[in-house]
Amino acid sequence: MTTDRDIERLLDRWLAEGPAQVSDRVFESAVHRLQHERQRPAWRLRAWRFRSMSSWKLATAVAAIVAVMVGSVVVLAPRRDDIATPRDTAVPSNPAVASSPSPAASAGVSSASPTCNLNTTGCAGALSAGLHNTVQFVIPFRFRVPDGWTNTADINRTYQLESTTGPGARSAIEVLGMVAIADQRQGRCDAVAKAGVGQSVDDVIAYVRGHRGLVSTAPTPVTLDGFAGRQIEFSLNPTWGEWCPGFNPGDPKVLLLTDTGNPPQRTLSYGSDVRIRWTVLDVNGQTVIVEEAGPVDPAAFAADVAYSHTVVQSIDFLPGS
């Protein structure tokens, strides 16, 4: 019978074995691929963030991971007591989600052409023109895209689409579920739902409309796939000065959403580099936000959203399926 202590000891020793150097060919190949890969605009990379932590913990964690990485280079078979390890430290916020990929992700993502969002492993990658179904999003839906769209996340709380070519090459769509208004208190951006604010369509719209950190349009009634809701556009108020820990000071943020987990783990905040249109819907009693994001410049945003909105309008919710 193998004991737990035996297993831990064996794993310590066994995982210390193995190669610790990679051939130059691999790096050269990666460098070659970089020549054909464009960087994504920062506003596209606004992502769900995880619980924040204090700056000293961040610094310690960074140092610890560097130590682990460097230790791996210089020590052929590092062991826990051989290298600087971060047992007593925390790790940075905004880590990756380790959700299981969907079947679509398995079939659709080539290792030579990664397209999934960093914060999830569930996505279908590049989409062919035509009709597609979500796999893991809390309320299933289908939609139609032309060529040039990529599914970058498909998990229970969010479904993301980005365009990569065509007239709306900067367009992005995110469908959000299982969210609540977050509480941005005293410069903190913790995953805490704001007390006293509901999750209905009217609650969400009223909160955005009344937020002094946002400049928003008057909400308008809409229907999407027969479901009623309200639409609003917003961007950061230039006078807003609050920011979230983990982001650069001087880069103001409005924290708007947190997830509805118990306890909530993630938050979604918005910076000065993005303009947002929310279509907030009541889908059989669940509030769903269809978000279209684009450049903060209103004219550029309007051009991009004109392209992405054809995809939004094709959404066909399949609650209960």
Partner 1 sequence: MDRDLVEAAGRGDRAAYVDLVRPRIDGLFAVAHRILRDVDRAEDALQDALVIAWRDLRGLRDPDRFDAWLGRVLVNVCIAQATRERRRIANLRALPIDGPAAPDDLLSVADRDQLERGFRRLPPDQRAILVLHHYAGYAPAEIAEILGVPPGTARSRLHNAHRAMRAALDADARSHVLGGRLA
Count helices and strands in the chain by DSSP H and E runs: 6, 16
Amino acid at 181: I
How far is it, in rounded angstroms, from Cα 6 to Cα 11? 9
Q: Which stretch binds partner 1 (CB under 8 A): 52-60, 159-167, 285-293, 310-318?
A: 52-60
Q: Which stretch binds partner 1 (CB under 8 A): 47-55, 156-164, 233-241, 278-286?
A: 47-55
Q: In the window 184-243, what residues touch partner 1 (CB under 8 A)? A: none
d(CA 54, CA 69): 23
Shortest Cβ distance from residue 280 to partner 1 (Å)? 26
Which conformational region is residue 225 in: left (phi greater than 0), alpha (psi within -120 to 50 degrees), or beta?
left
CB of 110 to partner 1, least distance (A): 10
Of 140, 146, 198, 246, the residue at the interface with partner 1 (CB under 8 A) is 246
- Specify the stretch interacting with partner 1 by CB under 8 A; choose among 29-37, 198-206, 215-223, 274-282: 29-37
Of 247-306, which residues contact partner 1 (CB under 8 A)? 247-248, 251, 263, 265
Integer CA distances (angstroms), 139 to 120, 129, 315, in order:
18, 22, 12
Residues ≥6 apart with Cβ < 8 Å to 76: 20
Tokens of 134: 């979500």
- Backbone angle region of 60, left / alpha / beta, with phi > 0 → left and psi within -120 to 50 → alpha: alpha
- In the complex with partner 1, the residue whose CB is nearer, 89 or 216, is 89
Single-letter code of the amino acid located at 305: V
The tally of CA atoms less than 13 A away on the side-chain side of residue 81 is 2
Q: Does 16 bind partner 1 (CB under 8 A)?
A: yes
Stretch that binds partner 1, among 92-100, 126-134, 171-179, 308-316 (CB under 8 A): 92-100
Coil, strand or helix: which one is 223? strand
Question: By C-beta, is 109 or 311 nearer to partner 1?
Answer: 109
Please identify, using beta-carbon distances, which residue of 91 and 206 lies nearer to partner 1.
91
- Residues in 105-164 at the binding interface with partner 1, rule: CB under 8 A: 105-106, 109, 111-112, 114, 116, 118-119, 121
Q: What part of residues 154-193 is at the interface with partner 1 (CB under 8 A)?
A: none
